[in-house]
Structure formats: C-alpha cells, structure tokens
Chains A and B, each alone.
Chain A
Amino acid sequence: MSEVVQGTSLWQDAWRRWRRHKVSVGSAVVLTIIVLFCAFGPQLVSLIWGWTYEQQNIALGPSAPSLSHPFGTDVLGRDLMVRTMHGGRVSLLVAFVATSVSLVVGVTYGAISGYVGGRVDSFMMRFVDVLMSTPYLLLVIVLMAVIPPNNVSFFGLDGSFVLMFGALGLVSWLVLARIVRGQVLSLKQKEFVEAAHAIGVKPRTILFRHIVPNTLGPVIVYSSLTIPSVMLSEAFLSFLGLGIREPQASWGTLVNDGSNAMVVYPWLLVFPGLTMALTLFCLNFLGDGLRDALDPNARKS
C-alpha cells in the first residue's frame, strides 16, 4: 500500500474503454481497409490488369461490372475501381486537411475568444461573422485568381489541390470556433475555474488544461460531421469546375457523374456512392466511440 501505484494515463484509459465499444472498433477496421484500398489499390490494379485511373478505352465504353473491371467502367471506358480508389485519396486527404485546420484553428480561436471575452471576443466573433456571411463561391473565385492553379505545387500536388485546401480550410473552422467559444463562455463561470485561479494557475494554463478538455465531446461530434460536409463541398466545387479537374477524380465528382447516368448505368453511382457512404458511416461511429472513451464522466457499463 505504501508504494506508489503506477497510474494509467488518460490515453491508456481511453484505449481500454474504446476497445469495449465494438461498433467503433469495427468501424476503425473498415476505415483502415478503405484507406489501404485507396492508398495501395491503384498500384495493385495496374500490376494485375494494367489499368490506371486516366487510361481511356473508348471502344469499351461504359460496361457493367465484370471480372476484369470489378466496378465496371465509365463512359470513357476508364476502370471505375481505380477511379474510386484514386478519388478516395483525394477525398480523404481533403477531409483530413480541412478537419485538422478546423480543429487546430477553430478550437484555439474559439477558446481564446470565449475566455478573454469583452471587446476582444466581439472583435474576434465579428471577424468570424464576416467570413461566414461572405458568399463562399466568391471567396473561392478570389482565391483562384490569387493562386493560378497550374503554376503552384504543394508537396508534389497540383494547384487545384492547393486551392481546394485553401478554400475549405478557410471556412471549415468557423462553426467550430463558435461552438467552442460558446462552451468556454459557460465553462469559465464554473467553480473549478475559480478554484484553479485560487491555487495560482496561470490563465493560459487554466484555459488549455482546465477548460478546453471539457469541450472535447461537442468538438469530436462536430468534427465527425465536418468530414462529410467537407467531402460534399469538395464535390460541389468540383462540379462547378472550381475544384478537382479531369482526369483527376474524387468521390464527390464520381458520385456526381454517376447520378447523371444513374438510370442507364447504375454502377457508376452505386460503387463510388457505397464506398463514400460506408466511409462516412464508419467515421460517425468512430467519432461516437471516441467521444465515449475520452469522456471520463461517461457511465461505465
């Protein structure tokens, strides 16, 4: 009894709890498979069959799923499975970047705004309002003018990606900043904050150690909603010709193309659509499980 018991860390604890959340663990497994499928699939396909995402076969035209084209081919005779894998890379990357920006910028910005309060808060929130009320398309078009898509590259990525990250990153953190600010506004009135003041903790430490972790629940839930909405905005931008360009693809553009030909060539919608839906489902369940695992107040069954 006298020897110091080695405590489990928050993360070990969360890990233990998370593993009991079967649906969440299952989702993580499926997500991993999808990510691997998108990451290594194209090379594998080109090794086995020799297709690439941009390789056309006009003579073949749109053909139904078969052994050599498991997801079928599109109107230009391109293999849909490779295009789905390739589109997955784009969609997942866009979602990951936009969500990271939204987490880092949104949480920090919202937390500072809510905690400092007063005039600083009004100023910071008016800035968010301005960005939110500016027509989104206008912002993207301005960005396009500023960044000529064909002249820039970013870690080997094409200019349209940079544009996409810029456009989505710019707006993705706004709502999260508001949510966190609202949470912090109410949390900073709590007694434990006063108690932390009374033991001489610095305001910055109070904010990031005592207050921000309490916003984790809403933040995780909101982030798991951000990912699908970012994927959809990406599809929307691409549809307007402002995002990903042919022959590049994303799940959004594939679903969009597929929906036009839904009645005649249903596989063009079904396969990319199912992959995307499955991913979004899994992300939601994963978010759910993570929130439960990271919340020490959650009832343990």
Chain B
Amino acid sequence: MSDVLLSVEDLQTHFHTEYGTVKAVNGVSFEVKRGEIMGLVGESGSGKSVTNLSILRLVPTPPGEYAGGRIMFDGQDLLTLPEHTLRSYRGNRIAMIFQDPMTSLTPYMRVSRQITEVLELHQKMTRTQAKKRAIELLEMVGIPDPAGRVDSWPHEFSGGMRQRVMIAMALACRPELLLADEPTTALDVTIQAQILELIRELAREHGTAVIMVTHDLGVVAGIADHVSVMYGGRIVERAPVEPLFANPQHPYTKGLLASVPRLDSRGELTPIPGSPPDLSDLPPGCAFAPRCEAVMDKCAKQPGWYGEPTLGKRCWLGEA
C-alpha cells in the first residue's frame, strides 16, 4: 500500500497573457502514495488549483502551456498521454471535485443523469444498473431519501446537497486518485465533517490517494497525512501534518499559522504583511522575500530544497 501512485516532477504550467507570461506553477515536485491524503495549502493565487488542474490536463491551452516537467501516474506521464487515453482516466482512475457546487452541475440535466453519465462512460453499465448505483452513491454521501431525490434537477438541491452530488460523481468509479479543490468551502461545518470523514474512509478502505487543495488549515490538520505549502507557484515547505503544525520551518508557513485563530492561545492574530507576488513578474530570488521577516542578502538568489523530499523547505534560513 505504500507505493507511489502519483509523482509530479518539476511541473511548470504557464499562462501566456497580454501582460506577459504568468508562471502559475513554477517547478512543483511532490509524490503521493496510495491511500495517502496530501493537503496542498497556500493563499489565493499561489498556484495550488492550477497544479490540480494540470494533473488532469484540464488547463486550457492556449493561453495555458505545460512548459516543463512530468506528471507520472502509475508509471505513465500524463502530460504526454494521448487525449483519448487520458479521457478514459478522467472520472474513472482520477476524479476531481470542484470548488463551486452551485455552478458545477449542468443545469439542464437531472441529477440522476449526471451520475449515470460517468457510470455509463467508464463502467459500461446499462441505464438501469447505473441508476441503481446512483441511488446507492447518493445514500453514501448522505442525501436523505435518495430514491426519491435522484431524479431532481440541480436547482432543486441546496449548495451542500449539490456538493455531495459532485462528490458522489467523483466517487462513482472508485478512483485511485481524488483531486479535491476546496471541497468543503461551500458547506456548513456538520456537513463538512461528514464529507471529510467520507473522503478519509475512501482513502483508508480503497487505498485512494487524495490531493486536497484548500486554504483552510483546520481541514488540513483534520484530514491530511502530509502537507505541501505553496507560495508563488512553488512548494516552499513539505512535512507530515504533525511536525508542520508543531514546528513549521519556512517563515511563510509560520506566518500562515500565526494568522489563524487557535484555541490554545489567546494572542492576537498576526497577518502576513504585504500581498501575494505578481506571478507574471516574479523576483529572481525567493518569491516570499519582500514579505519575509527574516529576509537576508542571500534571499536575492533562489533557494534550493533543504531536507528530505517529504520533509523539507525551500529557504536559506538556518542553512549554510
């Protein structure tokens, strides 16, 4: 169960715009093992969502471009795979949960049809079998009276229910890799807890690997095994969840944790000063340097990776 399922190596996803090239993902590397849940955290615009979309090659090209790197999934490079092979993976071996449940379901298709569409595509089920399975799936994600609700229209569902439909669709084919882009942001806390529990169960029982993109550190602490912190299109720190929260190494991670309220200290919240970098005009050195408290002369040069691949940081601090 501990073999590497997904290995992203030096991924570079750029967007060519009229204001210049935006390096949304600028050399990201990480590995995810089967059954492992990796949290991918960072501010808005740090490149975490684009990283996720790149794995399924869903970044529109143009204006996007996969400028470099490899995405090895079960021994194959997803970036060079023919489109039709990749299409047979989407929704089947690799599934995705989108951020906004209000707009991610096709308004002119019944909920049942949207779920059975995935099943008919990848599992070669008949309409009747697929419908039965759709009801099971809705029950699994906690929709009350699934048999009665399965033929509803998306607009008849609340945001939370739609998100659960999205999740049901993502889980329909028991994917090996689940990419979740802020799956619980739109839900209230009780539902959020249920959904997170569901995802964790999936990882444990089916060995599904999960990449959970979020800016909610609470969610990460609750569910992830490993955490990667992204800043300015790069991963700046990577660690198992306990050491990351107990002893963050990168000044950005420290700042991030200090800006979140904690139950065990009554201190003031300290926001990180400044704003995220302009990805079309990144400094040659460390992207965080302009906002960093511990900035040094060396920070004008791009720091390397210090530590293990799964436990380390991209920072000059404390290194020779």
A residues neighboring B (CB under 8 Å)? 1-5, 7-8, 10, 190-192, 194-202, 209-210, 213-214, 216, 296-297
Contact = CB atoms under 8 A, between A and B. Distances in A.
A10 B148 CA distance: 16
Nearest to A195: B104
B56 A7 contact: no
B145 interface: yes
A201 B120 CA distance: 10
A197 B108 CA distance: 17
B155 interface: yes
Contact of A296 (B95, B108, B118): B108
B150 A7 contact: yes
Contact of B58 (A1, A197, A214, A297): A197
Contacts of A198: 56, 58, 90-91, 95-96, 98
Interface in B133-164: 135, 145, 147-148, 150-151, 153, 155
B184 interface: no
Contacts of B88: 200
B103 A210 contact: no
A175 to B, nearest CB: 23
The 7 closest A-B pairs by CB, nearest first: A199-B91, A7-B151, A200-B90, A213-B108, A191-B103, A200-B91, A198-B96
B106 interface: yes
Given A192-B104, A192-B107, A201 B98 contact: no
Contacts of B145: 1
A90 B299 CA distance: 82
Contact of B107 (A7, A199, A201, A296): A296
B166 A296 contact: no
B221 to A, nearest CB: 27
Interface residues of B, number: 38
Interface of B: 56, 58, 87-92, 95-96, 98, 100, 103-110, 112, 117-118, 121-122, 128, 131-132, 135, 145, 147-148, 150-151, 153, 155, 166, 169
A294 to B, nearest CB: 9
A147 B143 CA distance: 63
A38 B281 CA distance: 72
A4 B134 CA distance: 10
B92 A200 contact: yes
A214 B108 contact: yes
A200 B155 contact: no
A195 B121 CA distance: 14
A216 B108 CA distance: 10
A5 B148 contact: yes
Contacts of B155: 296-297
Contacts of B121: 199-201
Contacts of A3: 147
A5 B104 CA distance: 25
A209 B89 CA distance: 20
A191 B104 contact: yes
Contact of A5 (B105, B107, B147): B147
Nearest to B110: A7
A1 B109 contact: no
